[in-house]
Structure 1
Amino acid sequence: MKKSRLVIVLLISCALLCCTAQAVTLRINVVDDKTDDALADASIYIDGDYVGSTRSDGTYSYVHSGKKDLYLKVVRKGYRNWVDYIDYDATHARVDMVREDETLTFELYDAVTLKPVVGAVVRVEGDDYSDSEVTGKDGSVDFSVRAGGSYSVEVRASGYHDLEETVELAKTGGVEDGPIQYFLLSKDLLGVRVLDADTSAPLGGAEVYIDNARAGVTDAEGRLQLHLERGKRYSLRVTATDYQPYLENRDLEADDVLLQVRLSKSAYSVLIKACNEATTPIGGAEVYLNGTLQGKTGQDGRFVFTELHAGTYEILVRASGYKDWSEIRHISGVAEAIFAELQYDRASVTVRVEGSDRKALADAVIVIDEKVVGVTDSLGRFQTALVTNRAYTVTAARDGYQNISVDADIPLGATEFTVPLIMEQNFNVWVLVAGIGVVAVLLLAVVMVVRQRRAGQNRGRPRRPDSL
C-alpha cells in the first residue's frame, strides 16, 4: 500500500511539472512604425478580451497556457488598429503601429477686412509628403496627412505678402484645435482703427484725413480701409465729436498693415451753482459726479469743474435741510453753467386742538395760510407735510368755539413739528337772557308760593273779641 501511494504522488507531481513547463510568457513590444518610438497606453486585446495596456516603455507581458495560437489586437489613439495571430509558443511580438491619416484644414483671411482670401495657393510638405491646393470661396483648403508629422506650409496670394509657417501635429493624432487660420497682409492695404484712449471702445463716425484730404469715416467698429503705397511719408489727421484731434506724420513701411489711433476726450469748464427756492445761494453744498463726491460749493453757492471730459454724467447736489437735486447732463462742445435749485425738506407737522378744559376737540376745521387743509380726528389732531424754513398761519375753527390763529415758524432741517391750539367757547347773550328769565320765573314762583302759604295761615286763625 505504501508503495502504491508513493507512485500516485510521483505521477501527480510529474503531471504538475509538465503543466508548468507548458506555460508561455509573451512579451509584446508596441512602437511607431516610422520612428520606432515606444508607444505607452496602447490597449491589448487577446482573443477579443481586453487584458491591459502597455507601460511607458511600450511593453506588455502576457502569460498563457501555450496550447493554442493567440489572436492579438492592439489599439491606440492616432494609429490604425493592429491585429494578427501569434504562434502558441512565441515569446516575443513586435507591433509596428501605423499612424492614421488626418485632415489638415487651413483657412485664409484678409488681415484687415477679415474676409476670406479666394484663390490663394497653399503648399504643404513633409516626410514623404508634398501637395498643393487652391483656396475656395470660403478661403479654406484641406490636406490628408499623417498624424504626428511636421509639415512646412507656404501660402501665396495675389496682392498679399507671402507666408511661410511650420505645423507640428500631435503624435496622438487629430487636429484638436480645429482649422489652422492665417491672416494675410495686403501689400497696399492699410487698416485704420480709431479707439477711445481711456476705455479702448471703438469710435464710429471718426473722420480720417490723409495729406489734408478727407479719406473716409470709420464704421461702427471704428475701422476704415485705405489703399496707400508703401515707402512714402503721409500726414494723418483724425477728428471726432467731443474728442481732441489726432495729428501725425508717418513713414509707411512695407510691414505696416494696421494703424490704431487713440483719441482723448475734449475737456470743458462746467459751473455748478446751488440755490434754494428763494434763489438764495447755498454754501457748503456737496457736489457729486456719477456718485463720487467732488467737493463743496463756496459761500456764493458755486462749484467749478475746470476740466470735465465730454460725456454724459449724473450730477447730484446735496445740502442739509434740502432735498437732493440731481440731473443727467451731457457735457459737449462748450463750457456750461448748471443751476441747481434745491427745495427745502418737508417736516411732518401735527396740529393739536384742545378746548380750554384741555380736552381734545374733534372735527375742528384746520386752515393753513387761508387754505382749508382738513379737520381734526377723534384725538383732536391733524397731520400734514410742510416745507421747512418757513412761517405759516395756522387757524382752527369749530362751532361753539372762538376761532384761533397762530403763526408757526418751522425751522430748517426739522423733521417733525407740533402746533398746539387751545379754543375758547363762544359767549352767547341769548343763552344768558334765557338763563336770567328762568331764574326770574323761579323766583316769582317762590314768592307766590310763600304768599299763598301766608294767606292760608291767616284764614285759619280765630278772630279777637275786640274785633267784633
Structure 2
Amino acid sequence: QGTNLLITVRDSSDNTTIPQATVFVNGANFAITNNNGQATLTHAGTEDQLIRVAMSGYDNWEKTVAKNVTNLYANLTRKTLTLKVNLVDSDTLEPVSLAKVNISAVNITEGKFTDAAGAAIFSVKANYYYTIDIAATNYQPQSTMVNIGTENKDVTYQLLSSQRFSVIVKDNDTQQPVSGAVVKIDGTQAGTTDSRGILSTPISRGKTYVFEITAPGYGVVSETRAITDADAIYIVEISKAAIGAFVYVFDERKAPLNGADVYFNGSLTGTTNEYGRSNFPSLISGVYLVEVRKSGFVPVSRTIVVSGQPEDHTFDLPFENAALSVFVQDRDQKNVPNATVLINGQNKGITDDRGQLVTRVKFNTPLNITVSKGGYASATVTEEVVQGNATASVNVILDKNLDLGLFMIIGAGIIVIILIFVAIRKIGGRKHRHVLRRDEI
C-alpha cells in the first residue's frame, strides 16, 4: 500500500503559506505549490524521501522524511540581505555624516549613524517592507518606506536644510513651471527659478516676509506671508499680463480693407475698421495662428508671436478669382475661332469653335483685353470684374483687314485703263489735224 505525503510550505516568521514554491523529491523537480502553499507526493511507502524546497527570497529548505510520514511542514527562512542608506545634502549633494537612521519592520527595529561617506548599512530580510526614519542636525526630518525584494538594496535620500525654503512658480492657466521668474523677499532679490520653476533659499522661520515674483510676460505677484517651522514650500501661480497686438489688412494694391474678419486660433476675435486696422489689447504673450478673411478675397493665415510689447502685424489679401468669358466676333456677328487673347499682356489662350475663351481673373482689377488673329485688325477693350460677379463676360469685335493683293490688282487695272484712254486721245487728236491740212490744199 502506497503513502500520500502532503507537503505544506510556510514562512517561518509568521507561518503564512507560500504558493509557487518549487518542491524537489530525491533531487528531481517534482511540483510547484498551489495557492495554499501545498503539494501532494504519492510514493510506494517502502523508502524514505529526500524533500527540498526552493523559493525566491528564501533560503533553501531540505529534509529526509520517513517513508510512513503523511504530513510535512517546510518552514522557509527569508534570506538575509543588505540595505545601504545614503544621505546627501539636497543643495550641494555632499554626503551628510552623523545622521541617525532608524529602520523598522514587523518585530524589527534597528538604528545607526551615517559614516563619513553619508552611509548606514543594515542587515535585512528579503521580501520585507521597512520604514526608514532619518534625523540630522540642521536638516529637516524625513520618513519613507522601502521594499527590500529579493536582492540587496541601495537607496539615496536628499536631506533638506532646516532653513531651506522653496518657492515654486507655476503658470496659472497651464499649471506648468515658470523658469526665470525673479523672486524678491522683503525687496531683496533671492534668485530666479530653475527649469522646474523652483527657487530654494535659506530663510528663518517664525517671521513675516513680503514676497514679490516677476517674470517676462507675466503680471507682478506680491504677497505677505508668515513662515512657520512647518512651512517648507510656497507655491505661487502667476498669470500672463495682457500685451496686445495690432492687425492691419490691405488688398493687393495696398488699399486698407474695411470689414475683414480676424481669427485667433480659429476663433473670430475682431474686424478691421476703415483704416484696415483691428486692435487686440487683451492678448497675452504666446504664439497664435492668425487668419484673415473677407468676401471677395483669398483668406491668408500665419503664425504670430506676442511678447514684450504690442506690435503691428500686416496681412495682404489677394483678390479672389472670377470666371471671365471672352466672346470674339466680326462685324457680321460671326464667331471668330482661334483668336489669341491677351489679358494685361499675358497670353490666356485661343478662342474655340464658338469664338469663346473662358479664363480666371481677379476681382476689382482693371483688365486690358487684347484679341488678335490673322486677317483681322487687333482690338483692345478694358474690363473690370467687380466683387460678387463670379461669371462675367465681355464681347470683342474684330474688323477684317483689306485684301492688299486684290487692292493692288484693281489699282493696276485702273492705271492701265487710264493709260489706254490717254493714248487713244493722243492718237485721235493727230488724225483730226491732218485732215484739215489736206482740205486747205
TM range (shorter): 0.7 to 0.9
1:190 corresponds to 2:165: yes
Instruction: Please give the alpha-carbon distance, in whole angstroms, between the structure 2 residues aligned to 1:373 and 1:409.
Output: 16
Residue 75 of structure 1: CA displacement?
A: 1.9
Which residue of structure 1 lines up, in the alignment, with residue 51 of structure 2?
A: 72
Instruction: Please give the alpha-carbon distance, in whole angstroms, between the structure 1 residues aligned to 2:294 and 2:265.
Output: 17
3-state SS in 2 of match to 1:37? coil
Deviations 1:348-374 (A, max 9, x none): 556554555423134x47363xxx333
Residues paired across the two proteins, number: 413
Note the 1:140-159 alignment, pairs <5 A.
Answer: 142-149=121-128, 151-159=130-138
Larger Cα-atom Rg: 1
CA contact (8 A) 1:272 1:339 kept: yes
Instruction: Please give the alpha-carbon distance, in whole angstroms, between the structure 2 residues aligned to 1:263 and 1:125.
Output: 43
1:89 corresponds to 2:62: no
Q: Match for 1:366 among 342, 356, 363?
A: 342
Q: Rate the CA distance shift 1:148–1:375 in 2: closer, same or farther, 3 A.
A: closer
CA contact (8 A) 1:117 1:135 kept: no
Q: Rate the CA distance shift 1:136–1:374 in 2: closer, same or farther, 3 A.
A: farther
3-state SS in 1 of match to 2:366? strand
Residue 45 of structure 1: CA displacement?
A: 1.9
Q: Match for 1:161 among 140, 145, 151?
A: 140
Instruction: Please give the alpha-carbon distance, in whole angstroms, between the structure 1 residues aligned to 2:200 and 2:129.
Output: 37
Deviations 1:299-334 (A, max 9, x none): 775544342212232322100111223343333344
3-state SS in 2 of match to 1:431? helix
Residue 249 of structure 1: CA displacement?
A: 1.0
Note the 1:203-282 alignment, pairs <5 A.
Answer: 203-277=178-252, 281-282=256-257
1:323 corresponds to 2:298: yes
Residue 265 of structure 1: CA displacement?
A: 0.7
CA contact (8 A) 1:391 1:408 kept: yes
Structure 2: which amino acid aligns with 1:215? A
Structure 1: runs of 5 or more not aligned: 1-19, 443-468
Instruction: Please give the alpha-carbon distance, in whole angstroms, between the structure 2 residues aligned to 1:213 and 1:160.
Output: 25
Instruction: Please give the alpha-carbon distance, in whole angstroms, between the structure 2 residues aligned to 1:135 and 1:180.
Output: 15
Instruction: Please give the alpha-carbon distance, in whole angstroms, between the structure 2 residues aligned to 1:323 and 1:360.
Output: 33
Q: Percentage identity across aligned positions? A: 27
Structure 1: which amino acid aligns with 2:219? Q
Residue 267 of structure 1: CA displacement?
A: 1.0
Q: Rate the CA distance shift 1:107–1:431 in 2: closer, same or farther, 3 A.
A: farther
Instruction: Please give the alpha-carbon distance, in whole angstroms, between the structure 1 residues aligned to 2:363 and 2:253.
Output: 13
Residue 194 of structure 1: CA displacement?
A: 2.2
Which residue of structure 2 lines up, in the alignment, with residue 14 of structure 1?
A: none
Q: Match for 2:284 among 304, 309, 319?
A: 309
Which residue of structure 2 lines up, in the alignment, with residue 465 of structure 1?
A: none
3-state SS in 1 of match to 2:384? strand
Deviation larger for 427-436 or 247-256? 427-436
State TM-score, norm by structure 1.
Answer: 0.75
Deviation larger for 293-302 or 216-225? 293-302
CA contact (8 A) 1:189 1:225 kept: yes
Which residue of structure 1 lines up, in the alignment, with residue 112 of structure 2?
A: 132
Residue 68 of structure 1: CA displacement?
A: 1.4
CA contact (8 A) 1:185 1:257 kept: no
- What is the CA RMSD across the aligned residues, in angstroms? 3.7
Which residue of structure 2 lines up, in the alignment, with residue 421 of structure 1?
A: 396
Instruction: Please give the alpha-carbon distance, in whole angstroms, between the structure 1 residues aligned to 2:298 and 2:108.
Output: 84
CA contact (8 A) 1:159 1:186 kept: yes
Structure 1: which amino acid aligns with 2:269? Q
Structure 2: which amino acid aligns with 1:122? V
Instruction: Please give the alpha-carbon distance, in whole angstroms, between the structure 2 residues aligned to 1:430 and 1:90.
Output: 138
CA contact (8 A) 1:358 1:422 kept: no
CA contact (8 A) 1:121 1:135 kept: no
Deviations 1:326-350 (A, max 9, x none): 3433333445555544332234556
3-state SS in 2 of match to 1:96? strand
Deviation larger for 262-271 or 409-418? 409-418
State TM-score, norm by structure 2.
Answer: 0.79
Structure 1: which amino acid aligns with 2:133? E
